[in-house]
Structure 1
Amino acid sequence: MIDVKLKTSPPPTVDENDRRTKAKCLHILNFSKPHGRTFHVAWFSFMIAFTSWYSIAPLKPYIKSDLNLNSEIATSDILAVSANVIFLVTAGLLCDVIGPRRVMATFLLAGSIPVALASLIHNADGLYAIRFFIGVLGACFVPCQFYTTQMYEKNVVGSANAFAGGWGNLGGGFAYILMPLVFNAINSSVNDTNISWRLAMIIPAGLCIIAGLMNIFLADDCPAGDWLKQKKSLENVEVKEVLEASDKMKIDAYVENSEQFESTKKGKFTELSRAFSNPYVLIMMMQYACTFGVELAIDNVIGTFFITQFGLANTSGNFIGAVFGLMNLFSRATGGIVSDYANKKFGIRGRLLSQVSVLLLEGIFLIIFRFSINSLTSAIVVMIFFSFFTQAGCGTTYSIAPYIDPPIYGTIAGLIGTGGTLGGLMFNSIFAHFRSSIPEGFLVTGIIVTVLSLTTFLLKVSGEKIIPIKRLK
C-alpha cells in the first residue's frame, strides 16, 4: 500500500524536532511546514507558471486580428517552446547551486515581466520576443520537481513528483478557462477587443508575482530549511557530531545532503558534461520526449482533430479535446503511485517495469486511435486511454530520475525536462507534416513511442536492470 493519504495532521514518520528528515508519507491535505506547505507551494507555483506560459494561446484570434498576422502566430509558438530548452537546463544547474526556492521565485518574477509587456506589442517581432522570454515560465517545472524530491523519501517521491507535476500541468487547461473569462469581462466594459486582450494579459502577470512571493515567504528548499544556510552548516559540521546522533535516519539524511551539497563545489559545466555523458540520462530524455513531448504536441491538434474529423462545432470539439489535458488531474499522479508501489514490491526493477509497461501501452493506444475514428464514441474512449498512459508516463519517468545520479539530480531533472520540450518540437513537426491527415500523425507517433519504450531494457539504475544480468549468462 502506498503512503499517499488525505490527512491534515503531520506525517507520523517525520520527527518534528529534526527538520533534516524527509517525509515518508505524502499527506495531500497537510499544509504544515516544511513538507506539506512546500508541496502545495510547488505545484501551485508551477500551475500558475504553466497558465501564464499558455496565456497568449486562448487570445490568438484577437492578437492575430489586431496585429494583422498569419503564419507568424505558428512561428511564435515554436519560439515559445524552443526557448524553454535553454531555461530548463539553466533551472537544473541553478537548483543544485542555490536551491529550488530562489530559482522558482526568480523565474516567476522574471516571467511576469514579458507576460505584462505582451500588452504593448504592435508587430510580429514584438510577439516573437515576448513569447521567447515567456518560455522561462515553462522551466518552473524543474524547481517544482526539485522541491518534492528534497521533501519526500524514496518510497513516496515518485508519487510526490507526479502529483506536483500533474497538478501543475493543469495550468495549460486553466489558461483556456481563465483568459477567455477575463477577456469577456473586460470587453463587456470597454467594448474593444484590441484593448481587452491587452488588458487581460495583466492578470497572469499579477498571478506570477503572487506565486513568486509565496515561494519566498512560505516555502522551504528542503526539510532543513534554507539551501544555502544548510550548505554552509554541512560544510562546518564535524563528522563525529553526526555519528553521535541516536537516530540512524539523521545520519542517512546527512550523508545524502552532504553528497548533494558537495556537488555544488564542482564546476557546473563539469556536472553538465557528467550528465550528458551518462547514456541513461539520454535514454530518459528520449522517453520523456515520448510522454510530455507527445502531450505538448497533441494539445495543439486534438481539438482541431475532433472538429474536422466529425464536423463538430468549435465549442464542442474543443470541449472534447480538453478532456486530454484535464486527465492530468489524476493520470500523472497515478503513474507515480504505480511506480512507488512497484518499487516497494520489486525495488528499482519495479520502477523500470512500470516505465516500460506504461510507455508500451501509450504507443499501442496511439496506434489504435488511428483505426478507431469511424465513430465519435470510439475515438473519445481510445483518446482517454492514450491520454492516461501518456501522462502517467511522465509520472513514471520522474519516479526513476532521482536514482540516476542523486548528487546532480537538479541538472539531470533539467535535462530530462529538456528532452520533453525537444520531443514537443519533434512531434509537433510530425503533426504539421500530416496536417492534411492528422490520423496518420497519431499512427507515426504511436510507432515511435512503442519502439522507444523498449529502450527501458537498456537502463541500469542503482545497479539494477529489468532483467538481472545473472539471468543473461
Structure 2
Amino acid sequence: MVKLFARPLPIDPVTQKADGINLLNFGRPYMRAFHLSWFSFLTAFTGWFAIAPLIPTIKEDLKLTTSEVNSSNLTSIASTIIFRTLIGPLCDRFGPRRTMATLLTISAIPVGLSGLVTNANGFITLRFFIGIIGATFVPCQFWTTQMFSSSVVGCANALVGGWGNMGAGVTYVLMPLIFEGLKSSGLSDHASWRVAMVIPAGICFVMGLSCLLFSDDCPQGDWSKRKQQQIEEIHYAENEKTVEVHDANKATKTKTTKDDDNDSIISEKSPKVHTPSRPTIGMFFKALKNPNVIILMFMYACSFGIELAVDNVIGYFFHDHFALSQTKAGMIGALFGLMNIFSRATGGFLSDYAYQKRGIRGRLFVHFLIIFLNGIFLVAFRFSLNNLKDAVIILVIFSFFTQACCGSVFGIVPFVDPEIVGAISGLVGAGGNVGGLIFTGVFKVYANNTPIAFMVCGIAVMVVAFMTFLIRLK
C-alpha cells in the first residue's frame, strides 16, 4: 500500500529501495533525494519559463512579431528534445545527482545573459540554449526510480515530476512581481525585464551546487558505490552452485547463492539478481526497438507536450483575449502550472493503487481514462471562452487531467525494461518535448484563432488515448 507518511521508512531488504514515502522526512538518502529532485526541477522551470510571463513587455521592447514570439517558443522546446534524449544514458553512466547539478549550473548561464538580447534573432537563439534546462526532467525521474521500490515508484515519480512542473506556475507569479518591483524602484520597462532574468539564473546555479554537495545518487550513496544489480523474477537453475547453511538451532538446509559484490549469502527466497551491462549508446536502439517505448512517447507527447505548449501561450492568451494586464494574466496563467501541486501526483497515486488491485492492467486502464478526459476538456475549453469565469474553471479542469496523465505515463515507464530505465525515461521525456514542439506549432498555425488550436489539440489527444490498448507488458 502507498504510504505518504511512512514512519519508519520501510526498506526493501533485497533492492535496498524505500517501500514508502514520508513527505516530512528530509533525511539521506531516500527523502533527501526525493525533495532535491523535485525542487531542482521546479528551479529549472523558473529559468526555462522565466521569459513567458513577460512576453507582452519583451515583445514590445524588442519589436517582435507574433510569429517571432511563436518561433522562440518552438526553439525553447526543440533544444530540450535533443538534450533529453542524450541525458538518459548519462544518468545511467554518471548518476542522477551529477547530471542534475551539471544541467542546472550550465543552463544558468544563458538565462542570466538574457538581458543582453537586442533583436529577434538573438532572442530566438537565446531561448534555444535556455531550453537545455528542460532536460532536468530526466534525472528528476531517474533519481526517484533509484530510491523507491515498484510499489510506490509511480507515486514518487508523479510527486517529484508534478511539484517540479509546478515551477511554471510559480514563474508566472514570480516574474511579473519581480518585474513590477524593479519598475517601482525606478527602472524602465526596458531595464526591468532584463535585470529580472538574473534572479532565476542565480537560483538555478545555487540549486545545482546544492544537489552536488548535499545528496546521494542511490541507496548505497555515490553512484560509483551502487550494486550493479537489478531484480528479476525468481527462478532456479540446475547448475546453480549451492551451499548448505546450518542453523545452530535447526537441522534444515537452505539453497543459497553467493553474491560476489559483497560476499554475502542470498537465500533462495530472495530474487535472483542480474548484473546489467555498462551503459552504452546501444541502449537507445534497444529501447527504440520496444514498441511500448514508442507508444509511451506518443502518450507523453499528448500530456507533457500539451503542458509545455500551454505554458508558453496561456498568459499571453488571457492578456490578449480578455484584455487583462500582464500581471493579472500571469496570475491566471499560473493556475495551470500550480495545479501540479497535486494533479500529477494524483495520476501516479491512482496508477499505483490500480497496480495493487489489478496489476499492470490497472495502471493501463487508469492511464486511458485520464488521457481521454484530458482530450475532452481541452475541446471544452474552446467553448468556454465567452466569459472569463467559465474559461478559468475549464482551464483548471483540463490542467488537472493534463498533468495527471503525465503521472500515469511515468507510473508505467519503470515496468517497460528495468535494465535501461534511464534511456527509456530519456526517450519518453523527449517524446513529451516533441509533443510540445508539435502542439506549439499548432498554436503558431492558429495564431489568429487560438481557441481553435485548443480544440485541435484536444481531438489529437483523444485519438492517441486509444493507443493505450496496444501496450503489452508482463
Q: Counterparts of 1:438 and 1:67 in 2: how far apart (Å)?
A: 23
Confirm or deny: 8 A CA contact 2:296 2:428 kept in the other structure.
yes
Matches within 5 A, 1:49-198: 49-70=44-65, 71-198=67-194
Alpha-carbon distance between aligned partners in 1 of 2:58 and 2:268, rounded to the nearest angstrom: 60
Q: Greater shift after overlay, 175-184 or 404-413?
A: 175-184
Alpha-carbon distance in 1 for matches of 2:135, 2:4: 27
Of 270, 277, 280, the residue aligned with 1:267 is 280
Structure 2 runs not aligned, ≥5 long = 231-257
Query: 1:105-162 deviations in whole A, cap 9, x for unaligned?
Result: 1101111111122233333333233221111110000000001111111110011000
How far 1:305 moved relative to its partner? Answer: 4.5
Aligned with residue 342 of structure 1, among 339, 344, 354: 354
C-alpha distance in structure 1 between counterparts of 2:204 and 2:332, whole Å: 29
Change (3 A) 1:74 1:432: closer
Structure 1 position 25 matched with structure 2 position 20 = yes
Pairs aligned (count)? 446
Amino acid at match of 1:280: N
Distance in 2 (alpha carbons) for counterparts of 1:115 and 1:379:
32
Secondary structure of the corresponding residue to residue 302 of structure 2: helix
Match of 1:469?
none
After superposing the two structures, state which structure 1 stretch, 360-369 or 147-156, moved more.
360-369
Measure the CA separation in 2 of the matches of 1:240 and 1:201: 49
Aligned residue for 1:222?
Answer: 218
Does the aligned pair in 1 maintain the 2:217–2:223 contact within 8 Å?
yes
Contact 2:176 2:326 (C-alpha < 8 Å) held by counterparts:
no
Aligned to 2:248: none
- Confirm or deny that 1:386 pairs with 2:381: no
Partner residue, 1:14: 11
Q: Find the counterpart in structure 2 of residue 355 from structure 1.
A: 367
Displacement of 1:201 in angstroms is 2.1
Q: Which has the higher helix share?
A: 1
Residue 239 in structure 1 maps to residue 260 in structure 2:
yes
8 Å CA contact 1:149–1:161 kept in 2: the answer is yes
In terms of Rg, which structure is larger?
A: 2
Say whether the 8 Å CA contact 1:19–1:225 is kept in structure 2.
no
Separation of aligned partners in 2, 1:435 and 1:65: 17
Aligned to 1:449: 461
Residues 20 and 224 in structure 1, CA contact (< 8 A), matched pair in contact too:
no
Per-residue CA deviation, residues 167-215 of structure 1 (Å, 9 max, x unaligned), is 1011112222222333333343352333333322222121111111111
Counterpart AA for 1:46:
F
Corresponding residue of 1:48? 43
Normalising by structure 2, we get a TM-score of: 0.87
Distance 1:48 1:19, change over 3 A: farther
Task: Provide the residue aligned with 2:251 in structure 1.
Answer: none
Matched, 1:37 2:32: yes
Q: Post-superposition shift, 1:317?
A: 4.4
Identity of aligned residues (%): 48
Corresponding position: 1:437 with 2:433: no
- Any idea what SS the aligned residue of 2:27 has? coil
Cα distance, 1:325 vs structure 2? 1.8
Structure 1: distance between partners of 2:116 and 2:268 = 58
Structure-2 separation of matches of 1:233 and 1:160: 21
* Segment of structure 1 superposing worse, 152-161 or 63-72: 63-72
1:243 Cα deviation after fit: 5.7
**Counterpart residue identity of residue 461, structure 2:** V
Tell me how far 1:365 sits from its aligned partner: 2.0
Question: Contact 1:10–1:32 (CA<8 Å) still a contact in 2?
Answer: no
Moved more, 308-317 or 373-382: 308-317
Match of residue 296 from structure 1: 308
Shift of 1:381: 2.9
Write the letter of the residue equivalent to 1:14.
Answer: I
* 1:201 correspondence with 2:201: no
- 1:301 CA displacement: 3.6
CA distance in 2, matches of 1:59, 1:380: 20
Q: Does the 8 Å CA contact 1:2/1:341 hold for their aligned counterparts?
A: yes
Which consecutive unaligned segments of at least 5 residues does structure 1 have? 464-473
Partners of 1:271 and 1:408 within 8 A in 2: yes
Q: Which residue type is aligned with residue 81 of structure 1?
A: I
Alpha-carbon distance in structure 2 between the residues aligned to 1:437 and 1:171: 28
Residue in 2 that maps onto 1:320: 332
- 1-structure distance, mates of 2:303, 2:73: 19
SS at match of 1:44: helix
SS in 2 for 1:32: coil
Secondary structure class of the residue paired with 1:244: strand
SS at match of 1:27: coil
Q: Deviations over 1:249-297 (max 9, x none)?
A: xx55x83xx54xx23x2532x1111111211111000010111111122
With 413-422 and 378-387 compared, the bigger mean Cα shift is at: 378-387
> Quick one: which amino acid aligns to residue 267 of structure 1?
T
Alignment partners' CA distance in 2, 1:338 and 1:106: 33
Deviation at 1:431, TM superposition (A): 2.4
CA distance in structure 2 between the partners assigned to 1:433 and 1:232 by the alignment: 49
Q: Residue 2 of structure 2 aligns with which residue?
A: 2
